[in-house]
Structure 1
């Protein structure tokens, strides 16, 4: 990671020559440039030490704005603090920030994927959130007896299909004080009208 940051900061790209559990060798990606580095793992610890390095470039660095070392993970690490402070930051803003700080231009897709990787650590992935729905429904039924809460999935691939929740208070209110009419009207909150003619929410559903 340190070598990648150095390459980006100094505007040169590296090409891996050899990489395994005990050795790592890389050179400058520009043809004919003598820069290279060789590192080896120290015995008994998860640490590499530099054994050989030719630290001079004759290539003058890269001329294009993009950088092959700017991976999605690097983008995520670069904007992590910014996203913690401003989760609503758009990928276009991330591109501008990276260009301002590092002087490189990335694709919109890289910025979007980098943001998604960080946001997954902040809020959890969508897959993780959907996996919690059955437990959420069970807790609603236990804590609020008489409530209806269920989640339905596709039996083929276990993907989410729909969620339905109706709290016990809403059910009782509809049965006792509302007109015998339920309005849907393409809304996720089916409702009726109470004795004063005001909207009375009955349930919540999404699909």
Structure 2
């Protein structure tokens, strides 16, 4: 910043500036989790047979959310090998949640998506 614009910028000021821009661009990450029930309801209405589940703990805090589209489940039941693989990646946001992806292979050795899970830990 100093070379390009002649501004001395501390690390913490750059961090908070980036955080503020991300908040304005994408909104509050916790607000997104509050919208999950509405999103899952609309997903079930537009895709009959889709399976969704949101689990909360005793203090009404989000624990995990599960989503499996009906087309993926039907494909798994008819043409996919019955071997499932689960992989996780940590979401590097304020929420610190984990995204789990459940996949399997089809007859052509291609990866077939089965479902997603958003969880607070593996």
2:66 and 2:35 map into 1 onto residues whose CA distance is 14
Deviations 1:118-160 (A, max 9, x none): 32122111122121111111111111010012232333252x3
Q: For the Cα contact (< 8 Å) 2:103–2:111, is it kept in 1?
A: yes
1:111 and 1:154 map into 2 onto residues whose CA distance is 36
The residue matched to 2:59 in structure 1 has which SS? coil
Cα RMSD between the aligned structures? 2.5
Q: With CA pairs under 8 Å and 6+ residues apart, which has the higher RCO, 1 or 2?
A: 2
1:100 counterpart = 2:5: yes
Q: Select the residue among 70, 73, 80 that pairs with 1:171.
A: 73
5+ residue gaps in structure 1?
1-95
What TM-score, normalized by structure 2, do the two folds share? 0.73
5+ residue gaps in structure 2?
90-99
Q: For the Cα contact (< 8 Å) 2:87–2:101, is it kept in 1?
A: no
Give the C-alpha shift of residue 107 in structure 1: 2.6
What is the total number of aligned residue pairs between the two structures? 109
Q: Which has the higher strand share?
A: 2
Q: Select the residue among 36, 49, 54 that pairs with 1:146.
A: 49
Give the C-alpha shift of residue 186 in structure 1: 4.6
Structure whose CA Rg is larger: 1
1:197 and 1:117 map into 2 onto residues whose CA distance is 44
1:137 and 1:195 map into 2 onto residues whose CA distance is 30
1:172 and 1:166 map into 2 onto residues whose CA distance is 10
| Gap change, CA 1:114 and 1:186, over 3 Å in 2 | closer
